[in-house]
Amino acid sequence: MKTLPLALAAALGLSSLFASPAHAAAATACTGVTRCEVVSSADVDGDGKADSVGVVFTKPTDAGPGSITVRLRTATGVKSATTGKDVYWYGKAFFGAAAVDGQPGKEIVVGDLMGAHSEQVRVVTFRGGRLVTLASPPGFGITRPSRWAVDASIFSHVGIRRTVSDTGVVSVTRRAALSNDSATRARGTKSTWVWKSGTWVEKSTVTISCTQATAEGFEGWHVKGLPVYAG
């Protein structure tokens, strides 16, 4: 059977017959999942390609705690999910995507516990083909040893800072100080841990004494890609 030339078909208003079929929407971390919100397209598995990240947030109520599930669909189609339970978080579930440890790929940071002036988060990473919780160095959490917490009030000042040396060594430092009764000076500790062979290794912990203004500068997250506090 002979076919019409494209130019003639267009002239006759039949060009739609020759159009390519519409491509189906690309699958995401939330495809087929109710109440799921796509929150990031960061490279989580470290292959240099954007991955789809979604969260399902069940908010806490007067009846009990909530939960936050992090879902991942990598650029190559690998799917994984992990759920944090006993969540008392009252802001947006997704805190950010950022490099926290020293492995390739970014970590996904989500809420866990929110107090009057303290915030504790869960850091999720990709290991062995699946999502897992990235354990924090000892003392970095409030209610759970695997969590990461900061604090900001007139008397309590806690913050976490990530640095990378000229030789590529990744460190996280927790500064925590309490102010005196007049809120003019503060004392506390500065604890630094380095990422080595897939885990955090203590480098140093020292006592610090500083002005109130300096202590207030410790507060919150100081990690590229993350806000200082939850929005």
Phi, psi (deg, nearest 5) at residue 222:
-125, 70
**pLDDT computed for residue 5 by the predictor:** 53
pLDDT in tens, 178-189: 999 999 999 999
User: In the chain, which residues have pLDDT < 70?
Assistant: 1-24, 231
What is the per-residue pLDDT for 80? 98
According to the model, what pLDDT value does residue 144 have?
A: 87
Q: What is the pLDDT of residue 22?
A: 53
pTM summary value:
0.89
CA distance 195 to 199: 6
Encode pLDDT of 24-37 as tens digits: 679 999 999 999 99
What is the rounded CA–CA span in Å between residue 72 and residue 41?
10
By DSSP bridging, strand 156-164 and strand 220-222 are parallel
Whole-number pLDDT of residue 185: 98
Residue 4, pLDDT score: 47
